[in-house]
């Protein structure tokens, strides 16, 4: 087989997968619906069907690349991260633990260049159409999930309800790549299309795993990921052969793109197989008139205090437990998953 015709293999979690294929297909771009004069009805129809919408270029390429510059500047000041004269290219010794945590509310998340993307009018307009609300009726978490991912790192399968279910059930997550080319090899979001509404095994998953709160589950330790293998989800979807609208989807993304999804849509990421840092941010939006999860609101100091007071589980996992502590493997066995 020639090099030109060789299949493209990417790593989704821990599994090497051919893209595109039945295991991982191309995500559908719904950005054309943004310009329709239908009050967002078409976007909401796609969201209801798939559990997400992908809006190519909706945030403006220049705006996001400007935000990326702010993040690169911040990381460069830390030292020991990038090769000299090559911002964005990781030092050979820079792996997991080398890059500083940027989540929360801090100088880089609320740098005007970054905040202009995360809380800007283009994003608010798209969220407003999905929630059928004017921009002034929206509210965002003060906490931002700004991340820099090194080599080989990925995010495992999860749904956001396990981390932030103490507020609005209509909370939306917006995933924004801060990259000129957020390829599958660099690391990109993948979603299980239709997982928010599927019956059978996925319905059971939503009613068990999807209903847990990682910080209130007695004895729980761990990240809150269901699994690091995408096949574990596919195997639960016993009715997939009858519904070709379901399955893992992803693609190559770039600055200006955004994917917006709901709290019960299963998602994960491909691994960073390059020598470059991968920068992205998750930002949450909801109706200002609905309850909000107070764990993610407040000033920088208030959020720091809340973080210190929170249980070291789920998003704040410290690693392996001891004694009678409960792992995700224990819970999956209990749930029959």
Domains in the chain: boundaries: 24-197+244-312
Neighbouring C-alpha atoms within 13 Å toward the C-beta of 5:
2
pLDDT at position 311 over 90: no
**Model confidence pLDDT, tens digit, residues 108-154:** 999 999 999 999 999 999 999 999 999 999 999 999 999 999 999 99
Kindly state the tokens that stand for 63.
């705006």
C-beta neighbour count of 53 within 10 angstroms: 28
Average of per-residue pLDDT across 104-111: 96
Opening angle at CA 80, ends 78 and 86, nearest 5: 95
Structure tokens at 42: 């078409």
In tens, the pLDDT along 252-272 reads 999 999 999 999 999 999 999
Cβ proximity of 250 and 189 under 8 Å: yes
**pLDDT at position 92 over 80:** yes
User: Whole-angstrom Cα distance, residue 209 to residue 332?
Assistant: 8
The CA distance from 329 to 156, in Å, is 14
In the beta sheet, which residues pair with residue 90?
Answer: 82
Q: Is the predicted pLDDT of residue 38 greater than 90, yes or no?
A: yes
pLDDT score of 82 more than 60? yes
Q: Does the pLDDT at position 96 exceed 80?
A: no
For residues 134 and 327, what is the distance between their CA atoms, to the nearest angstrom?
Answer: 42
- Span 232-254, average pLDDT: 84
Look up the pTM and report it: 0.94
Average pLDDT of the chain is: 93
Largest Cα–Cα separation, the chain: 59
State the Cα–Cα distance between residues 167 and 303, nearest whole angstrom: 17
pLDDT at 259: 98
Q: What are phi and psi of 296, to 5 degrees?
A: -115, 20
Asked if the model's pLDDT at residue 175 lies above 70, the reply is: yes
Tokens at residue 217, please? Answer: 């589950």
And the tokens for 58? 């909706």
Task: Determine contact, residues 16/7, Cβ cutoff 8 Å.
Answer: no
Residue 309: pLDDT band (50, 70, 90) is: confident
Q: What tokens were used for 77?
A: 């000041």
Q: Give the residue carrying structure tokens 């935000």.
A: 67
Q: Write down the pLDDT at residue 2.
A: 47
Best CA proximity match to 179, nearest among 59, 260, 79, 97 = 59
pLDDT of 157 reads 98
The whole-number average pLDDT for the span 234-260 is 87
Helix/strand/coil (H, E, C) string of the chain?
CCCCCCCEEEEECCEEEEECCCCCEECCECHHHHHCCCCCHHHHHHHHHHCEEEECCCCCHHHHHHHHHHHHHHHHHHCCCEECCEEEEECCCCCCCCCCCCCECCCCCCCHHHHHHHCCHHHHHHHHHHHCCCHHHEEECCCEEEEEECCCCCCCEECHHHCCCCCCCCCEEEEEECCCCECCCCCCEEEEECCCCCCCHHHHHHHHHHHCCCCCCCCECCCCCCECCCHHHHHHCCCHHHCCCCEEEECCECCCCEEEEECCCCEEEECCCCCECEEEEEEEEEECCCCCCHHHCCCHHHHHHHHHHCCCCHHHCCCCCCCCCECHHHHHHHHCC
The pLDDT score that the predictor gives to residue 126 is: 98
| Superfamily covering domain 24-197+244-312 | q2cbj1_9rhob like domain (2.60.120.620)
User: Quick one: what percent of the chain has pLDDT higher than 70?
Assistant: 93
pLDDT at 78: 86
């Amino acid at each position: 087989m020639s090099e030109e015709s060789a299949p493209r293999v990417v790593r989704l979690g821990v599994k090497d997968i051919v893209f595109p294929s039945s295991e991982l297909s191309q995500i559908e771009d719904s950005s054309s619906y943004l310009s329709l004069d239908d009050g967002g009805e078409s976007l909401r129809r796609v969201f209801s069907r798939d559990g997400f919408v992908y809006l190519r270029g909706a945030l403006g390429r220049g705006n996001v690349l400007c935000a990326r510059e702010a993040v690169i500047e911040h990381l460069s000041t830390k030292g020991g991260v990038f090769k000299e004269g090559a911002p964005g290219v990781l030092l050979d010794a820079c792996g997991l633990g080398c890059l500083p945590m940027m989540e929360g509310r801090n100088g880089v998340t609320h740098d005007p260049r970054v905040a202009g993307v995360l809380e800007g009018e283009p994003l608010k307009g798209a969220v407003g159409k999905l929630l059928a609300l004017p921009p002034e009726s929206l509210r965002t978490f003060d906490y931002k999930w700004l991340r820099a991912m090194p080599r080989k790192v990925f995010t495992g399968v999860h749904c956001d309800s396990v981390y932030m279910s103490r507020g609005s059930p209509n909370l939306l997550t917006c995933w924004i790549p801060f990259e000129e080319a957020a390829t599958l090899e660099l690391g990109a979001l993948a979603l299980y299309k239709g997982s928010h509404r599927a019956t059978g095994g996925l319905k059971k998953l939503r009613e068990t795993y999807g209903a847990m709160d990682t910080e209130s589950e007695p004895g729980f330790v761990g990240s809150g990921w269901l699994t690091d293998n995408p096949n574990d989800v596919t195997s639960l979807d016993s009715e997939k052969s009858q519904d070709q609208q379901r399955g893992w989807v992803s693609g190559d993304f770039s600055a200006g793109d955004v994917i917006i999804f709901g709290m019960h849509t299963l998602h994960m990421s491909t691994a960073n197989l390059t020598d470059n840092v991968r920068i992205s941010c998750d930002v949450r939006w909801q109706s200002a008139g609905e309850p909000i999860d107070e764990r993610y609101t407040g000033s920088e100091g208030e959020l720091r205090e809340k973080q210190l007071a929170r249980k070291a589980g789920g998003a704040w996992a410290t690693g392996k437990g001891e004694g009678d502590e409960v792992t995700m493997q224990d819970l999956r066995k209990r749930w029959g998953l």
